[in-house]
Structure 1
Amino acid sequence: MLNSEIQKDLRYNFAVNVVESGFFGLGSGFASYITIIPLFVSGFTDSALLIGLIPAIPRLGYQLPQLLTADKVARLQYYKSTVMLLTIHQKLPFLGLALVALLDLKLNNQTILELTFAILIWQGLGSGFSSIPWQSMVAKIVPSGKLGIFHGSLTASANLMSVCGAVIAGLLLKQIAQPFNFALCFLCASFAMALSWFFMSRTREPISNSSSSIESKREFWDSLSVILRCDRNFRYFTIARLISQLALMPLPFYTLYAVHRYGMGEESVGFITALLMLTQTISGLVLGWMGDRWGNKLALETGCIACAISSALAGLAPNVNWFYLVFVGAGIGAIALQNVAAVMTLEFGNQHQRPAYIGLGNTLVAPATIIAPILGGLIADNINYQTTFWVAAIGGLLTALLLHLEVRDPRYVEQNLSNVDS
């Protein structure tokens, strides 16, 4: 009965979530963590360390708190109401950024920085607390064999609309004086996020009649130790994701390096952000299709290689034109190491084990998410940006090697923990 309901609403849920993701992407284009927000913060500090933390804080906030909600989610039969409540804290902070930008006229640089980073932390934690119920809902309403193309379509929709947001943001930054240009960008982002929330609320989720075998918090935490102890494949997958944070480390530095070293202008920043999003639009669909057809492991390895090549090109770049290729590689790599890795995580365990796998997979990676950009910022401040890029390239190659040698695609591995290697 549940499967028939899922199939009946699949096209509707597919369409509604693609539209929702599109508006989320539009907002992300107006307030890009890789280009727009770092550029905003660079007006108040020259610290590469602080600027490097900008994309890391949302990732850390997304990953770190997931185990705190995983045990409750594991016992839910209906996810949507929890998703809608928690995701408010993912979308509302962009309005706070608009207010902070306007306060530039009244407050000193230190206070602006403190408020900005506080809002980024709020937004990241909102993503983290809503992530497990959202991912569990998606895994429930979308059959396993279509998860790759579903996530790829969401990513494509988000990034296609991000292109529009990024191009408009570049024009706003050039045509309107500070701080009103940044304030308007963030205001547009908050409006798009409100529309995203509305369309997410239209999702149809059937109520499951089956209940989890996990009855208490203690049983849930005991199940985590069983997973880590018995599932060797998941352990190596998690280690690979830890190392992969090095490959993602230089993303916020590419724009700053191009601006400071080669004089890239604001309009070009908007264009290169659009190029990044367009690349992610196409690669999201291609890697999603690849993952459904040949397994997500291959798609993930491809992204690691793309990240390594991107970082190497940035380290070798003799002029600003090379950064168009840099951002193409970065777009492919970011989609793989974030989206494809998330889809692959959903393939570990059964329906009731899934929140535990999702929580473990993200929370255990959280320390590397914050350590990697700190390391990158320290290297950039004390040595140079090129060294940061080369360390990232090595990280991408190591991740690809570990995935290839030690990780088996979980889609083709028996997930009964009593049968896994000890």
Structure 2
Amino acid sequence: MLNSEIQKHLRHNFTVNVVDSAFFGLGSGFASFITIIPLFVSSFTSSALLIGLIPAIPRLGWQLPQLLTANKVASLRCYKPTVLVLTIHQRLPFLGLALVACLQPLLYNQAMLVLTFAILIWQGLGSGLTATAWQSMVAKIIPSSRLGIFYGAQGAAANMMGICGAFVASFLLNQIAQPFNFALCFLCASVAMALSWYFISRTREPVSEPLSAIETGREFWDSLNVILRRDTNFRYFLMARLLSQLPLMASPFFTLYAVHQYGMRETSVGIVTGVLMVTQTIAGLILGWVGDRWGHKLVLQIGCVACAVSSLLACEAPNLNCYYWVFVGAGIGIVSLQNIAALMTLEFGSQRDRPAYIGLGNTLVAPATILAPIVGGWMADNIDYRTTFLVAAIGGLVTALILQIGVRNPRVNPLTSKKA
């Protein structure tokens, strides 16, 4: 009965959730955590450490709360109401950024820093509180045989709309005086996020029995210990994900280094944001197909090498035209080590254990997510940007080696998730 309901609404749910992702991507183009927001923050601080934390905040916020919400999510019969309430905290903060930008002429730099980072943390935690319920809802309404296509379509729609947002943002940044250019970008982002919320609210989710038979919090936490003790393959996967934060730590510094080293202007910042999103669009479709055909482990290794190459190219690019290729490598790495890594997490364990694996696969990575950019920012402040890029490149190659030696594709050999 449940399967027939899912099939009945599959086309509708596929469509509204892809459109939701498209508008979310549009908002992300206007308020990119890789280019636009770091450039905004650089107008009232020169600290590479603080600026380097900006892209880590949404990743940390996405990862950290998931384990704390996994048990509650596992007991739900319908995920959509929880998603709709919690995701407001993922979208509303962009309106807060617009208000803060308008207040910049009236506030001291320190007050701007505190308010901006408080809003970014609010947004990050909002996404993390939503994450487990949203992933569980998607896994419920989209059959497993269509998940790869669904995530590919979502990513393509988000990035294509993000490209539009990025190019409009570059025009606004160039034509309107600061800080009102940033305020308008963030306002456009908040409108796009509101439209995104509307379309996700159109999801038709059938009511079902909870996945988990665990009744108490103690039993749930004990089950996590069992997973970590028995599932050797998953432990190596977690190790690789922890190390993968090193190659990712370089991305927020690429724009700043280009501004300092090559004199990149605001218009070019919008262009590199577009290059990044075009790359993510194409990479998401191609790497999703590669992962479906040969396993997501290979995709993660490709991402590690792409991050390493982009970091080395950032050190050696002779001019700004060559530097655009840095963002191509960064886009491939971000898709692989963030999106595909999260999708691969869903392949470990059984359906009953899914919320626990989702929580473990994200929350345990959170300390490295925040530590890596702190280390990268400290090196950029106290040594130079090139040192940060070199360490990121080494981290990418080491992560690829760990994946090769220790991790097996769980979809190819599901029994690995049961071996001690």
The TM tier, using the shorter chain, reads over 0.9
1:211 is displaced (CA, Å) by 5.0
Residues in 1 aligned to 2:210 and 2:60: alpha-carbon distance in whole angstroms:
33
Aligned to 1:83: 83
The root-mean-square deviation of aligned C-alpha atoms, in Å, is 1.2
Residues in 1 aligned to 2:372 and 2:416: alpha-carbon distance in whole angstroms:
34
Equivalent position amino acid for 2:252 in 1:
P
Aligned to 1:256: 256
Residues in 2 aligned to 1:262 and 1:171: alpha-carbon distance in whole angstroms:
20
Residues in 1 aligned to 2:374 and 2:311: alpha-carbon distance in whole angstroms:
17
1:27 is displaced (CA, Å) by 0.2
Aligned to 1:213: 213
Aligned to 1:188: 188
SS in 2 for 1:78: coil
Counterpart mapping for 1:40-119 below 5 A: 40-119=40-119
Aligned to 2:363: 363
Aligned to 1:421: 419
Residues in 2 aligned to 1:166 and 1:414: alpha-carbon distance in whole angstroms:
41
Aligned to 2:276: 276
Would the alpha carbon gap of residues 312 and 292 (structure 1) be closer, same or farther in structure 2, given more than 3 Å must change?
same
1:348 is displaced (CA, Å) by 1.2
- Contact 1:57/1:124, CA 8 A, preserved across alignment: yes
Structure 1 unaligned spans of 5+: none
- Contact 1:295/1:411, CA 8 A, preserved across alignment: yes
When normalised by structure 1's length, the TM-score is 0.98
Aligned to 1:33: 33
1:294 is displaced (CA, Å) by 1.9
Aligned to 1:402: 402
Give the count of matched residue pairs: 420
Structure 2 unaligned spans of 5+: none
1:17 is displaced (CA, Å) by 1.0
Residues in 1 aligned to 2:159 and 2:189: alpha-carbon distance in whole angstroms:
14
Is 1:226 the equivalent of 2:237?
A: no
- Contact 1:172/1:181, CA 8 A, preserved across alignment: yes
Residues in 1 aligned to 2:303 and 2:149: alpha-carbon distance in whole angstroms:
16
Residues in 2 aligned to 1:353 and 1:213: alpha-carbon distance in whole angstroms:
10
Task: Judge which range, 92-101 or 294-303, deviates more.
Answer: 294-303
SS in 1 for 2:55: helix
1:57 is displaced (CA, Å) by 1.1
Is 1:285 the equivalent of 2:285?
A: yes
1:415 is displaced (CA, Å) by 5.6
Write the deviation string for residues 157-206 of structure 1: whole angstroms up to 9, x where unpaired: 11110100000001100000011100000000000000000001111212
Residues in 2 aligned to 1:410 and 1:11: alpha-carbon distance in whole angstroms:
29
Aligned to 1:156: 156
Residues in 2 aligned to 1:344 and 1:195: alpha-carbon distance in whole angstroms:
29
1:58 is displaced (CA, Å) by 1.3
Identical positions, percent: 71
Residues in 1 aligned to 2:210 and 2:124: alpha-carbon distance in whole angstroms:
32
Equivalent position amino acid for 2:38 in 1:
P
Is 1:385 the equivalent of 2:362?
A: no
Residues in 2 aligned to 1:233 and 1:416: alpha-carbon distance in whole angstroms:
6
1:257 is displaced (CA, Å) by 0.2
Residues in 2 aligned to 1:33 and 1:212: alpha-carbon distance in whole angstroms:
36
Residues in 2 aligned to 1:415 and 1:152: alpha-carbon distance in whole angstroms:
27
Residues in 2 aligned to 1:9 and 1:415: alpha-carbon distance in whole angstroms:
33
- Contact 1:146/1:292, CA 8 A, preserved across alignment: no
Equivalent position amino acid for 1:142 in 2:
I
1:53 is displaced (CA, Å) by 0.4
- Contact 1:305/1:397, CA 8 A, preserved across alignment: yes
Aligned to 2:376: 376
